[in-house]
Amino acid sequence: MTELLAIGTKKGLLLAISDDDRQSWKIGSAHFSGHSIYAVAIDTRGAAPRLFVGLESSHFGPSVAISDDLGETWQEPDKAPLAFPADTGAAVERVWQIVPAAGDVVYAGVQPSALFRSEDGGRTYELVRALWDHPHRPEWGAGFGGQAIHTILPHPDDPQRMLVAMSTGGVYRTSDGGASWAPSNEGIKAYFLPDPWPEFGQCVHKVARDGADPDRFYAQNHHGVYRSVDGGGTWQTIADTLPADFGFPIVAHPRRGGVVWNFPLVSDGQREPVDQHCRVFRSTDGGDTWQPQQAGLPTEPFHVCVLRDAMCADDAEPVGVYFGTRSGEVFASRDEGETWSTVVAHLSDVLCVRAATF
pLDDT tens per residue, range 82-140: 999 999 999 999 999 999 999 999 999 999 999 999 999 999 999 999 999 999 999 99
**pLDDT > 70 fraction of the chain, expressed in percent and rounded:** 100
**pLDDT > 90 fraction of the chain, expressed in percent and rounded:** 94
* 228-244 residue pLDDT tens: 999 999 999 999 999 99
Average pLDDT for the chain: 96
> Are residues 245 and 239 in contact, defined by beta-carbon separation less than 8 angstroms?
yes
CA dist., res. 311 & res. 208, Å (int): 11
CA dist., res. 15 & res. 159, Å (int): 31
**Who has greater pLDDT, 58 or 32?**
32
Q: What is the mean pLDDT of residues 321-339?
A: 98
* 143-193 residue pLDDT tens: 788 899 999 999 999 999 999 999 999 999 999 999 999 999 999 999 999
Q: What is the mean pLDDT of residues 300-305?
A: 96
Which pLDDT score is estimated for 96? Answer: 97
> Are residues 98 and 64 in contact, defined by beta-carbon separation less than 8 angstroms?
yes
- Is a pLDDT exceeding 80 seen at residue 78? no
Global pTM? 0.97
pLDDT band, residue 330 (cuts 50/70/90):
very high
- Residue 230 vs residues 186, 215, 236: alpha-carbon distances, Å: 11, 6, 11
Phi then psi dihedrals of residue 238, to 5 deg: -135, 30
* 1-23 residue pLDDT tens: 899 999 999 999 999 999 999 99
Which pLDDT score is estimated for 76? Answer: 85
> Are residues 343 and 5 in contact, defined by beta-carbon separation less than 8 angstroms?
yes
- Is a pLDDT exceeding 90 seen at residue 58? no
> Are residues 257 and 210 in contact, defined by beta-carbon separation less than 8 angstroms?
yes
Q: What is the mean pLDDT of residues 272-295?
A: 98
Q: Which residues are registered as beta bridge partners of 221?
A: 204, 224
CA dist., res. 118 & res. 108, Å (int): 8
Nearest to 334 by CA among 318, 347, 348, 345: 318
> Are residues 60 and 32 in contact, defined by beta-carbon separation less than 8 angstroms?
no
Which pLDDT score is estimated for 323? Answer: 98
Query: If one looks up domain 3-357 in CATH, what number appears?
Result: 2.130.10.10
Alpha helices in the chain (DSSP H): 129-132
Nearest to 167 by CA among 217, 204, 114: 204
CB count, 10 Å around CB of 295? 12
Which pLDDT score is estimated for 60? Answer: 83
Which pLDDT score is estimated for 80? Answer: 81
Which pLDDT score is estimated for 79? Answer: 80
**DSSP annotation string for 79-116:** S-SS---GGG-----EEEEEEE-STT-EEEEEETTEEE
In the chain, where are the structural domains located? 3-357
